[in-house]
Structure 1
Amino acid sequence: MTTLKTERLTLRPLRPDDAETYAAMRFHPDVARWLLPATGDPVDAARAAIERYARSWRERGYGPWAIFRGDRLIGQAGLNFVPEFGETEVLWSLHPDERGQGFATEAGRAALDFGFRTLGLKLIFAVTRPDNHASQAVMARLGLAYRKDVVYREVPSVWFETDSVRWRG
């Protein structure tokens, strides 16, 4: 499993001992409203997600990372294979206290670079709800372009994407 460092952040795979801190970020109401719904105890759901991400790292060589600013977990970002679409998405979410400082763009850029340069992926997409204008602005800053409307796990969404040729250009 790969750990990346950017100018201000450390991106490392989530570990089981991150479950409580990850749950506090992931299930914060201002974060959860933009993500796919999850049921049950937040810490149990966080543990299950961490195990899914670890399985992705083992099977594919990539997955979501925890975003650390210093020693504080402030969000998640990374790459996630979506079987429904047969493609890999770039994703991010940040604790509300950390938004507006460019961290999503910084982490997203590192994830895209890892996907295209290290893994050799040809296309990476991102989806969000149509009214999530903040995430769409990050997508645009990262060079992803709107392509279509989709339904992702019963949630109407907008699809942005870029490919390796545009990324390297």
Structure 2
Amino acid sequence: MLHTERLILRPLVAADAELYAAMRYHPEVAKWLSPPDTDPLDAARATIERFELSWRDRRYAPWGLFRDGKLIGHGGLNWVPEFGETEVLWALHPDAWRQGYATEMARAALDYGFKDLGLELIFAMTRPDNDPSRAVMTRLGMAYRRNVVYRGFDAVWLDIGREKWLG
């Protein structure tokens, strides 16, 4: 568990599944992400289980983002086997948009990844028209590298290396 200035970042647990599904599959959030393969609550449970395994095996996975005791999103580090690299990701409930929470969480995640885990590179990707997420990436000092296709969607890839982040 980590604390930022305004957020508590903690691993999601099974008891969070209903609140997580409501955030993750909210129509304004879901339009930027992969759709569920099954019922949203079942998909949320499966995602939380996948995150729990990653915490055990890699010492990182996305956290639940909590503000004033309320789940407002998820974010953190995520291993992406298709690319063999670690990404920083975020998704916030629309009520939490444009308040700097994604940047705040991502800074904590990059610090954790580079300082505590010793990662050499962390990337982020988003759909090309997701200007708010691209703005967060730019604020973090990430640089555009390439276009990719991920799970059938076109995306832009930005990244930052350990040396630049710690420099």
Would the TM-score normalized by the shorter structure come out above 0.5?
Answer: yes
Match of 1:146 in 2: 144
Aligned CA RMSD, in angstroms, stands at 0.6
SS at match of 1:100: coil
Match of 2:84 in 1: 86
Alignment counterpart, residue 64 of structure 1, candidates 19, 41, 62? 62
The amino acid that maps onto 1:29 is: P
SS at match of 1:47: helix
- Is 1:120 the counterpart of 2:106 in the alignment? no
The amino acid that maps onto 1:72 is: K
- Is 1:137 the counterpart of 2:135 in the alignment? yes
Distance 2:83 2:2 in 1: 27
SS at match of 1:158: strand
Q: How many residues align?
A: 167
Distance 2:35 2:19 in 1: 18
Identity of aligned residues (%): 63
Match of 2:49 in 1: 51
Distance 1:155 1:108 in 2: 23
| Unpaired runs of at least 5, structure 2 | none
The amino acid that maps onto 1:124 is: I
How far 1:70 sits from its partner (Å)? 1.5
| Unpaired runs of at least 5, structure 1 | none
How far 1:154 sits from its partner (Å)? 1.3
Alignment counterpart, residue 17 of structure 1, candidates 6, 15, 18? 15
Cα offsets for 1:34-70 (capped at 9, x unmatched): 0112122111100000000000001101001000001
| Segments ≥4 residues shifted beyond 6 Å | none
The amino acid that maps onto 1:135 is: S
Correspondence list, 1:151-162, <5 A: 151-162=149-160
